[in-house]
Structure 1
Amino acid sequence: MAGTTIEDNGLVVQAFAMALDQLGIENNHPKRQASIDFIIETMGQSKIEVFTELFGAEEAHVANDAFETSYLECIERQGVEAIPGVEELFGALEEKGIALALTTGFSPQTRDALLEALGWSNRITFALSPSDAGRGRPHPDMILKASELLGISEMSSVAVAGDTASDMQAGVNAKAGWIVGVLTGTDDEPRLREAGASHIVDSIASIESVIAR
């Protein structure tokens, strides 16, 4: 969601830095920069899985709670905006009978807060977090679960779009028909291509030009 359908504006990294402060990993801490670099490297993946890798299983939930709280505070303070053209895209896909689901590395609580803030709660049929499907990206679980919920059996008819390498890897692992990298978020075109993108667009708002081919 963040970076693909929602403007990120650095909020994920900002919230993570705030969470590090709460965990006592402040500016002068030797692990701080390496931790921030890792969160950027793994952008798009399940936050709880990322925190487990960073801090171990026992501290992961504490770190995740601190991050989620900080992220919600950032949203309340700075607001949240859709990527330009996304809501028009939703309408166009709806008119054409193309099913839509959103996936995210955020927890269900944070995901639902984002949907509510954007007024999308009643517009999106399915929005999935890693806990809804099993594992987060780069595993294909959320894509496969979304396809199942939407009644799609042929993965060759599924388009996956995202702004991170892990989005592309998840699409490859799900054997999706289109794996579309968007340039409104974390990773650049070379990294998205290397991770498996079959197509690149400047914005998710342009994806119709790809899936119509």
Structure 2
Amino acid sequence: MSDLTLRLAVLDMAGTTVADDGLVMHAFEAATAAAGIPATGPEHDRARQYVLDTMGQSKIVVFRALTGGDEDRAQQANAAFENAYGAAVADGGATEIAGAAETIGRLRRAGIKVALTTGFSAATRDRLLNALGWNDIADLVVAPSTQVRGRPYPDMILTALMALQIDDVREVAVLGDTANDITSGVRAGAGIVAGTLTGAHDDTALRAAGATHIVSSVTEFGDLLTH
């Protein structure tokens, strides 16, 4: 980091700051039905594994891949996924990962701006924030859009950097639980790209993607940035 000061922390949501107790895979089952993917058998198993492997990516991109580029089926699958996930979140299916809110507050009090990012749509992002009471917890919350590509692209991180007027990409620290989170941080040129062990991918996968640090949780990440 040389003499640069960390000025922005970009934190993933599901699996990193939010525990959703397997809701992604629950919602995946609703999506496969809407896309016409069999409920059992090899095709279903391949689709399920693909979803696991691509955790962190924009969900519509994942469903486009699963449906072979059939946009109508992909949109139907994505709508079913978002509806199922959003309904489960509204029923209390998502909670903060222990220490997440306290860590975000600690970072901001230390003068580090915080942006949350997600592979969910803006509508599902808002449902999740509402359910957690997190509407004002961060300086910015970014979701993929027609102008901002989701992971593994660096767009969400760079969008946060520009919106929050950070001068240098090396002043950014990224935290995520998937290889795609790590890849996006590396591509953005962030000074710290940390993997957390509270979500989808393990130490080996996170290091292979280029993580500069591995932490046990978001709390340890906070310690790393404010020591």
What's the TM-score bracket when you normalise by the shorter of the two chains? Answer: over 0.9
**Aligned counterparts, 1:1-213, within 5 A:** 1-55=13-67, 56-58=69-71, 59-131=73-145, 133-212=147-226
Cα distance change, pair 31–78 in 1 and its aligned pair in 2 (3 A): farther
Indicate the larger mover: 28-37 or 1-10.
Answer: 28-37
CA distance in 2: counterparts of 1:148 and 1:44, whole angstroms: 22
Instruction: Kindly indicate whether the alpha-carbon contact (under 8 Å) linking 2:116 and 2:138 is maintained by their aligned counterparts in 1.
Output: yes
CA distance in 2: counterparts of 1:129 and 1:39, whole angstroms: 18
Instruction: Kindly indicate whether the alpha-carbon contact (under 8 Å) linking 1:80 and 1:118 is maintained by their aligned counterparts in 2.
Output: yes
Indicate the larger mover: 81-90 or 56-65.
Answer: 56-65
TM-score by length of 1: 0.95
Bigger strand fraction: 2
Measured after TM superposition, the shift of residue 97 of structure 1 is: 1.2
CA distance in 2: counterparts of 1:14 and 1:99, whole angstroms: 33
Measured after TM superposition, the shift of residue 27 of structure 1 is: 2.6
**What stretches of structure 2 of length at least 5 have no aligned partner?**
1-12
TM-score by length of 2: 0.89
**What stretches of structure 1 of length at least 5 have no aligned partner?**
none
Instruction: Kindly indicate whether the alpha-carbon contact (under 8 Å) linking 2:56 and 2:178 is maintained by their aligned counterparts in 1.
Output: yes
CA distance in 1: counterparts of 2:40 and 2:113, whole angstroms: 48
Identical-residue share of aligned pairs (%): 46
Higher relative contact order (CA 8 A, sep 6+): 2
Measured after TM superposition, the shift of residue 29 of structure 1 is: 4.7
Question: Secondary structure of the residue that 2:91 maps to in structure 1?
Answer: helix
Question: Secondary structure of the residue that 2:90 maps to in structure 1?
Answer: helix
Instruction: Kindly indicate whether the alpha-carbon contact (under 8 Å) linking 1:160 and 1:171 is maintained by their aligned counterparts in 2.
Output: yes
Cα distance change, pair 132–99 in 1 and its aligned pair in 2 (3 A): farther
CA distance in 2: counterparts of 1:51 and 1:154, whole angstroms: 34
Indicate the larger mover: 74-83 or 43-52.
Answer: 74-83
Question: Secondary structure of the residue that 1:161 maps to in structure 2?
Answer: strand
Cα distance change, pair 88–133 in 1 and its aligned pair in 2 (3 A): farther
Question: Secondary structure of the residue that 1:101 maps to in structure 2?
Answer: strand
1:161-185 Cα distance to aligned partner (Å, 9 max, x none): 0000000000100010000100000
Measured after TM superposition, the shift of residue 137 of structure 1 is: 0.6
Instruction: Kindly indicate whether the alpha-carbon contact (under 8 Å) linking 1:101 and 1:125 is maintained by their aligned counterparts in 2.
Output: yes
